[in-house]
Amino acid sequence: MHTFDEYSLKKEVLQAIQEIHFTTPTTIQHLVIPHALKNQNIIGKGKTGSGKTHAFLIPLANKIQKDKPFLQSILLVPTRELALQLYQCCKIFFKNFPEVKISCLMGGQESQKDIEKLNVTPQILIGTSERIQHIVIDNGLLNLSTVSTLIIDEADMTLEMGFLNEVDRIASLIHPQAQIMVFSATIPVGIRPFLKKYLKNPILIEDDKSSDHENIEHILYPSKERNIYDILDLILQNINPYVCLIFANTKKEVENIYNELHLRNYDVEMIHGDLKSRERKKNIKRSLNGEFKYIIASDIASRGIDIPGVSHVISIGMPSIEHLDFYMHRAGRCGRNNLTGQCITIYQNKDKEAISKLSDQGITFVTKEIKNHEWKTLKNFDSRKKRMKKPGEMDVEIKKVIHQNRLKKVKPNYKKKIKLQIDQIKRKHKREFIKKEIKKRQIQKYKEGNQ
């Protein structure tokens, strides 16, 4: 078992670690901290909740020059919610470093307020890349050439949201020998040119010991065309969560679920991108402080926010096929720190393709339903099982040609002749198919013209 004492950290850093009640480093912390202390560039693959925030905050605290009042570190995250969470985390960890000034720029308020925050130069600047470019770079407020550490968290999400150009601009202005640490759940192809451009001889660190979803039960709950809110209400009555996260695919759905559960007297809060900045900040703070048992969220607004104590996750439908990774992020909110969790999806027929693809990726689903206040296991639908197709006319003709030629005496070029015959059959059926399609369209046009 490893300890923080083995990393040759400063006394005040070890004290800060003790005060947040960390006893042993997590896997990602043990892998990152020694390399970060050597000022090496790092690409770290780790999931939310794996301890990666302190994997970079601990070496940053050890490196910071408290008596130098210039900008030394920039911490970039893709959303306001993540910026707020990281800022609060930094304030707690650096509370015994009164000389260290930390500022957070995250948008959602008047530019002047953010400009005023920089009247005194911070040593650590946290924010979204878009806001830092708008406030700091466009107004020339801070000298970025003094920055010796750049940390980019949730890099895959930064790419998804289209902020890589802003990150590139910031990286181009910092000290050329600055240490750059990039953390991401995945390393998508789109971010690799940036990594190649700015990270010299990076160390790739993967937290492969924290296997995905091993403590999570994945439950499918069939809606059977029933009222979704009634099903959700029934589920909430039959689970006993410490904290339950409820996900919907759109902001409108988040609001509808919130309003419905509020009417049914549930202690509930919501997080989505259309809330006013002040309201989002308040809701996130209260959620992080454990003031709500039920939190309804959209995927983007809540991505990366580490809400402690989540025992249950409920998805109202599956994410789209293009965003199946959202399901992984949803499910990964529970079952942390060796605790068990349940991820329940209320699904409709339209979700079956997504369920099938997730099953192919190794997720084991069990179908359940509540009857007489008891969970009953149902027979799983086999979304991957395909019905046997009856052979069509074309298949029959092709088989016939092959069979007839097998019975004949083998002659030169017989394979070529069989191929020609098969091609003729295929062309014939293609012509017939096209004729049928043209006829269908003509009938459809005729009907539309007579309506």
Average pLDDT of the chain to the nearest whole number: 84
| Mean pLDDT value of segment 43-66 | 87
Question: Cβ-count burial of 136 within 10 angstroms (0-12 exposed, 13-18 middle, 19+ buried)?
Answer: buried
- Determine the Cα–Cα distance for residues 285 and 275; give it in Å rounded to an integer: 14
Long-range contacts formed by 192-197: CB under 8 A, 24+ apart: 194/164, 194/167, 194/168, 195/43, 197/168, 197/171
Residue in this structure with the two tokens 């709500």, named with its chain if needed: 292
Question: Cβ-count burial of 288 within 10 angstroms (0-12 exposed, 13-18 middle, 19+ buried)?
Answer: middle
Q: In what order do the strands lie in the sheet with 179-184?
A: 102-105, 124-128, 73-77, 149-152, 179-184, 42-45, 203-206
The answer on pLDDT for 431 being more than 60 is: yes
- Determine the Cα–Cα distance for residues 368 and 378; give it in Å rounded to an integer: 5
110 token code pair: 């008047």
Q: How is domain 216-377 classified at the CATH fold level?
A: Rossmann fold (3.40.50)
| Mean pLDDT value of segment 60-77 | 94
CATH number for the 4-206 domain, one of 3.30.499.10, 3.40.50.300, 3.40.50.2000, 3.90.1300.10? Answer: 3.40.50.300
Domain map (residue ranges) of the chain: 4-206, 216-377, 393-438
Q: 211: how many CB neighbours lie within 10 A of its CB?
A: 8
pLDDT at 341: 87
| H or E segment and range at residue 403 | helix 393-407
- Determine the Cα–Cα distance for residues 423 and 436; give it in Å rounded to an integer: 20
- Determine the Cα–Cα distance for residues 79 and 83; give it in Å rounded to an integer: 6
Tell me the per-residue pLDDT of 69-83, one tens digit each, with 9 for 90 and over.
Answer: 999 999 999 888 889
The answer on pLDDT for 229 being more than 80 is: yes
0.85 exceeded by pTM: no
Q: In what order do the strands lie in the sheet with 216-222?
A: 268-271, 294-297, 243-247, 310-316, 341-347, 216-222, 365-371, 374-377
Nearest Cα neighbor of 6 from 32, 34, 27, 31 is 34
pLDDT at 274: 60
| Window from 36-50, 217-231, 415-429 with minimum mean pLDDT | 415-429
Same-fold call for 4-206 versus 216-377: yes
Amino acid at 93: F
pLDDT at 392: 65
Measuring CA to CA, how many Å separate 252 from each of 231, 243, 259, 296?
Answer: 19, 22, 11, 11
Greater model confidence, 425 or 183: 183
The answer to whether 145 touches 174, Cβ cutoff 8 Å, is yes
| Window from 158-172, 186-200, 248-262, 291-305 with minimum mean pLDDT | 291-305
pLDDT at 386: 43
Tell me the per-residue pLDDT of 354-383, one tens digit each, with 9 for 90 and over.
Answer: 999 898 888 889 999 999 889 999 987 654
pLDDT band at 384 (very low <50, low <70, confident <90, very high): very low
End-to-end CA gap in the chain: 77
142 token code pair: 């801070």
Report the C-alpha dihedral over residues 436, 440, 446, 451, rounded to 10 degrees.
170
Which of 308-312, 411-415, 425-429 has the largest mean confidence?
Answer: 308-312
The answer on pLDDT for 238 being more than 60 is: yes
User: What percent of the chain stands above pLDDT 70?
Assistant: 82
